[in-house]
């Protein structure tokens, strides 16, 4: 009896396995074209990405970098207007590079250069526009992006946004030199607005956190000054 029960269980198991195999075969037969299509799409996506990266994006980056050499040279000479639009030698200015090579790392950097150029030219709205779209990607330029935006807002007498930008600059990373520099700007702007307690707090943070920085060497006089104002 037990032997017959065991034999029946084995037969049932075999039937189940056959059913599973048949069902799997039916599924593959029914959905064969969909599966092949999905695999083909995957191959196209991966292959397309590799092709785009190696044969489209990389040459585009190289072309953009070659174009920007002259604009950078003008920028370094403080010829900001020329750097933006007409650096000479048949090369593109920052604005044309941004338009022509959008999506490249070089065009992104050109947005930073354009923002700083406009800041130096006193065109603060354009400076804020280009600096705002620039992505520093975790580099030290995160400090200078927000710091430059703070300068532009300050020139526009928009002190609330200036303070916000300076604070972002001061907390952009672990560079003590730049953090102390922008933290001092936070303190000075608070002081300018008569916010002496907030100014003192910023100056004391420099004293406590960045005592060896250039700003830290004489920060005591700023602390004393705002302290005397109450």
Which pLDDT score, from 0 to 100, does residue 118 have? 97
Residue pair 60/101 in contact (Cβ under 8 Å)? The answer is yes
Q: What are phi and psi of 101, to 5 degrees?
A: -120, 35
CA dihedral of residues 95, 99, 101, 107 (deg, nearest 10): 40
Query: Cα(195)–Cα(53) distance, rounded to whole angstroms?
Result: 52
Query: Cα(95)–Cα(104) distance, rounded to whole angstroms?
Result: 14
Q: Which residue has the tokens 């910023």?
A: 202
- What tens-digit pLDDT sequence spans the chain (230 residues)? 444 444 444 444 433 434 434 444 454 455 455 444 445 555 444 444 344 455 445 677 888 889 889 999 999 999 999 999 999 999 999 999 999 998 888 899 999 999 999 999 999 999 999 999 999 876 678 889 999 999 999 999 999 999 999 999 999 878 889 999 999 999 999 999 999 999 999 999 999 999 999 999 999 999 999 988 86
Question: Using H for helix, E for strand and C for coil, what is the string for the chain?
Answer: CHHHHHHHHHHHHHHHHHHHHHHHHHHHHHHHHHHHHHHHHHHHHHHHHHHHHHHHHHHHHHHHHHHHHHHHHHHHCCCHHHHHHCCCCCCCCHHHHHHHCCCCHHHHHHHHHHHHHHHHCCCHHHHHHHHHHCCCCCCCHHHHHHHHHHHHHHHCCCHHHHHHHHHHHHCCCCCHHHHHHHHHHHHHHHHHCCCHHHHHHHHHHHHHHCCCCCHHHHHHHHHHHHHHCC
Complete domains list, the chain, with CATH: 8-130 (no CATH), 136-230 (1.25.40.10)
Residue 79, exposed/middle/buried by CB under 10 A (0-12, 13-18, 19+)? middle
pTM for the whole structure: 0.74
**Rounded to an integer, what is the distance from CA 35 to the centroid of its chain?**
39
Which pLDDT score, from 0 to 100, does residue 32 have? 54
**Residue 166 tokens, joined:** 């300076």
């Amino acid at each position: 009896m037990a032997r017959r029960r065991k034999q029946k269980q084995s037969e049932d198991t075999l039937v189940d396995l056959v059913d599973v195999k048949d069902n799997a075969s039916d599924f593959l037969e029914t959905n064969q074209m969909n599966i092949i299509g999905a695999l083909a799409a995957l191959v196209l996506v991966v292959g397309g990405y590799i092709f785009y990266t190696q044969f489209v994006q990389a040459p585009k980056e190289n072309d953009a970098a070659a174009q920007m050499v002259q604009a950078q040279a003008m920028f370094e000479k403080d010829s900001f207007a020329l750097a933006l639009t007409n650096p000479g030698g048949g090369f593109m200015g920052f604005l044309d590079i941004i338009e022509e090579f959008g999506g490249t790392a070089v065009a992104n950097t050109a947005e930073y250069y354009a923002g700083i150029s406009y800041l130096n030219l006193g065109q603060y709205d354009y400076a804020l526009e280009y600096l705002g779209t620039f992505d520093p990607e975790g580099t030290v330029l995160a400090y200078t992006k927000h710091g430059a935006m703070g300068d532009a807002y300050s020139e526009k007498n928009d002190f609330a946004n200036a303070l916000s930008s300076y604070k972002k600059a001061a907390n952009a990373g672990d560079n003590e030199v730049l953090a102390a520099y922008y933290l001092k700007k936070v303190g000075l702007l608070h002081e300018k607005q008569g916010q002496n307690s907030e100014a003192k707090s910023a100056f004391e943070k420099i004293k406590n956190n960045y005592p060896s920085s250039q700003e830290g060497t004489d920060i005591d006089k700023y602390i004393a000054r705002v302290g005397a104002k109450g």
